[in-house]
Amino acid sequence: MHRFAERNNQEFFFFDTGDLVEGTGLSDATNVHGEYLIALANYVNYTGATLGNHDIEYNDTVSLFSSRFLPIKYGTLVSGNVKAQDGSPLSVDFQVFDTPLGHRVLVLGFLFNFPQHSKNTIVLDYFSLFNDDQSFFQKAMSVDKVDLIVTLNHIDPQGQANYFNTQVQAIRKYHANTPLVVLSGHRHVLYYHQYDDNAITIESGRYFENLGLVEFCLACDGSFANLTHEFIPTSLQEFYSLSNTTESSFPTHTGDLVKQVTQKMYNDLGLGEVYGCSPADFSTVTAYNDSSSIYNLFVNTIMPIYYNRSLSNTPYMITNTATLRYPIFAGPVTKDDIYSISPFGDKYMYYPGMNGAVIQNLLNYMNSIPPSSHLGGTRSLCGEREGNLPLFVGSNVPLQPDALYDVILAEYDAFVAHNGLAKLYPSQYFPESVYPGLPQPLTSTELLVRFIATSWHC
């Protein structure tokens, strides 16, 4: 793409808005999430990249980024409000570069106010950055002769629109008409919005299913001209067309090397291992009570098998409807499939002795507030839910108002439940702990492996 742009007197930039880890076996089947994937990403010639919330969830993963991710070394990892716990930078606060055609580009990066970051990181308050006279933002705004501003944001452009309104307004105080491209991520949707004649945002979906392409000219007066955007499916045919190549001319030496390394990693991790064979398709979008719903399967069949012991009361399971990322298809289910469906390392928590009326009020509350209000406490914040599923679902157990239940849910969801209970019942204390009675905590990934291996024989 760089060569194609140069031949046509154009410039090409390639940016990433975060969440490199958490997705497939290549990302998460390693002892440290991202161990193999970061090595693969180092082959990518990023113009700039930023950190997402999943990149800073685990201490080991953050340490891996810090020691091995080449964009840190090259100064192209940009994040103004994510720091190491000791205050030292994990990235540059902003980036400035001059292009071969003589344009000066300013790049900034931001993460939303994510409270569940790893202990070896700090996430500075996003909104304070724009009001602090000593912050990096003021230094960035003082850079001379900027022709284009690009911001890399792991922020929901719809549910967290106030973040972008604040950002655009703050930049416009210093650069009233400078072309501004606000690249957004985190919601996992295809989205485009224009703030003014010279400011746009675009989010390009999820899981490398699409690329977002923004094309424009810089007019003599410094404004956008011929501004267009499109979402390109990530197929080889589309890549041939985009790069003006053919099946024979598209491969590069680096690309062939990455393909070989990827296959070796895949084999080394045993990602093709078949755990069992599904008897049917289970969808992420089907209505919860439908027998083909993956959430119905998970909450009402799988979880009760492993989380039904050492409890005094009837177990009641809760999960958010963004945690299972891919369907299960009828037929063989591999190790890589499992990680694609559920890559997260959450332990399961429980609230003992909660009455049915409290549980129902809690579910109603958790489903009534906008996803962005959860402040990262649920993966539903990302908008990863599909169809018309509620944000949270619970066991198909009739809740009797005065009966007692033991509520079981993943760490991420327990964070939202904790905040909800504090809001609904400020004078009451609800004890919360790691689920008891197991030799070691099971993650959702391990639950799926155990169930499929023992219940779905091929």
Antiparallel, parallel or unpaired: β 48-49 and 82-84: unpaired
**Cα–Cα nearest to 48, from 176, 181, 190, 171:** 181
pLDDT of residue 9: 86
379 CB-side CA count, 13 A: 24
Residue 380: predicted pLDDT = 35
Closest by CA to 24, choosing from 339, 236, 241, is 339
**What is the number of other CB atoms lying within 10 angstroms of the CB of residue 422?**
12
CA-based R_g, the chain, Å: 23
AA letter at 445: T
Report the alpha-carbon distance of residue 35 to residue 4 in Å, rounded.
32
Distance CA 246, CA 255 (A): 15
Contacts of residue 30, defined as CB under 8 A and 6 or more positions apart, other chains included, come to 36, 269
List Cβ neighbours of 79 (8 Å cut-off, separation of 6 or more). 50, 51, 90, 91, 93, 109, 110, 111
Distances (CA, A) of 251 to 13, 245, 246, 256, 383: 20, 9, 9, 7, 35
Rounded distance between C-alpha atoms, residue 139 and residue 143, angstroms:
7
Is the distance from CB of 385 to CB of 391 less than 8 angstroms? yes
Q: What is the pLDDT of residue 444?
A: 85
Per-residue pLDDT of the chain (458 residues; tens, 9 = 90+): 878 888 888 899 999 999 998 888 999 999 899 999 999 999 999 999 999 999 999 999 999 999 999 998 889 999 999 999 987 778 999 999 999 999 999 999 999 999 889 999 999 999 999 988 888 999 999 999 999 999 999 999 888 899 999 999 999 999 999 999 999 998 888 999 999 999 999 999 888 889 999 999 999 888 999 999 999 999 999 999 999 999 999 999 999 999 999 999 999 999 999 999 999 999 998 999 999 999 999 999 999 988 876 678 999 999 999 889 899 999 999 999 999 999 887 788 989 999 999 999 999 999 987 655 444 433 333 334 445 789 999 999 999 999 999 999 998 899 899 999 999 999 999 998 888 766 566 788 888 999 999 999 99
Burial of 314: CB neighbours in 10 Å, binned 0-12, 13-18, 19+: middle
